């Protein structure tokens, strides 16, 4: 059975615009519709998926809202040339598993590391006393060569001496933590807000200061429920879709 018929059968089984959007999103992620390409007409897609044009139109609107498609009146729907990466936010947050992009090479770069006294905000998040020393890592994530996020990750310098060097060497926070007996960890909470970027964030993300970012702050805990790190950063809102 070819791709076209498989998509139609799947939608008929599940039904509704949500199923259509899911199938079409998967086709885009697999590269069936290349970045910058025009989708088939609304009528053709409706016939392909076996749904009404109203349902098809709602599914396309959903993907447009996610940033996957660009709809030009009188011309049709186009796959975004600058395809956004997708970040899945759950109780376990792992860069390599949760950040995905079609045909993109995902990497991280440690911009700076330092050991500094914790301010009131960081101390509260890490359950430390203000002034206790923390390790601070500033990291930028890239999809190919395009920056998609910048974050400052902090943890107790007393509990994790030398962690910044291990992280820089392995490129994996999870792998670095194993040397300290932390075999697994979970995201306790994540707060996400929209705001304008700082001058430094706009520069690192290579975007205008007039374009909002998706700012986030969260803490990770180990198996005992002890906070091991906190992250304060932001996503480039035009390049990242956050899925909860």
Q: What is the full per-residue pLDDT of the chain (244 aa) written as tens digits?
A: 444 444 544 444 445 899 999 999 888 878 788 777 889 999 999 999 999 999 999 999 998 887 788 787 777 888 876 666 777 776 766 655 555 555 567 788 889 999 999 999 999 999 999 999 999 999 998 887 778 899 999 999 999 999 988 887 887 888 899 999 999 999 888 899 999 999 999 999 988 888 899 999 999 999 999 999 999 999 998 888 887 7
Give the pLDDT score at 220.
Answer: 94
Give the pLDDT score at 88.
Answer: 72
Give the pLDDT score at 99.
Answer: 58
85-243: CATH topology is: Chorismate lyase (3.40.1410)
Number of C-beta neighbours around residue 111 at 10 A: 12
Torsion of CA 170, 92, 242, 7, to 10 degrees: 100
Give the pLDDT score at 180.
Answer: 94
Of 176, 181, 152, nearest to 166 (Cα)? 176
Domain ranges, ordered by start, for the chain: 3-79, 85-243
* Residue 21 tokens, joined: 């959007």
Number of C-beta neighbours around residue 168 at 10 A: 15
No. of H helices and E strands in the chain? Answer: 9, 11
Question: Which H or E element spans position 138?
Answer: strand 133-143
Give the pLDDT score at 170.
Answer: 82
3-79: CATH topology is: Arc Repressor Mutant, subunit A (1.10.10)
């Amino acid at each position: 059975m070819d791709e076209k018929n498989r998509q139609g059968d799947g939608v008929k089984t599940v039904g509704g615009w949500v199923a259509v959007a899911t199938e079409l999103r998967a086709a885009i992620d697999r590269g069936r519709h290349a970045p910058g390409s025009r989708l088939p007409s609304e009528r053709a897609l409706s016939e392909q998926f076996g749904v009404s044009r109203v349902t098809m139109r709602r599914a396309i609107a959903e993907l447009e809202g996610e940033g996957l498609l660009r709809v030009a009146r009188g011309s049709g729907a186009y796959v975004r040339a600058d395809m956004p990466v997708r970040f899945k936010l759950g109780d376990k947050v792992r860069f390599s598993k949760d950040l995905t992009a079609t045909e993109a090479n995902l990497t991280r770069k440690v911009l700076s590391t330092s050991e500094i006294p914790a301010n009131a905000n960081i101390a509260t998040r890490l359950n430390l006393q203000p002034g206790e020393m923390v390790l601070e890592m500033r990291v930028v994530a890239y999809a190919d060569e395009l920056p998609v996020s910048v974050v400052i990750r902090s943890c107790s310098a007393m509990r994790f001496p030398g962690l910044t060097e291990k992280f820089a060497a392995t490129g994996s926070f999870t792998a670095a933590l194993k040397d300290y007996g932390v075999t697994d960890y979970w995201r306790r909470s994540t707060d996400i807000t929209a705001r304008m970027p700082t001058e430094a964030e706009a520069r690192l993300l290579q975007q205008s200061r007039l374009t909002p970012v998706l700012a986030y702050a969260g803490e990770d805990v180990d198996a005992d429920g002890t906070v091991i790190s906190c992250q304060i950063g932001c996503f480039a809102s035009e390049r990242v879709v956050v899925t909860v």
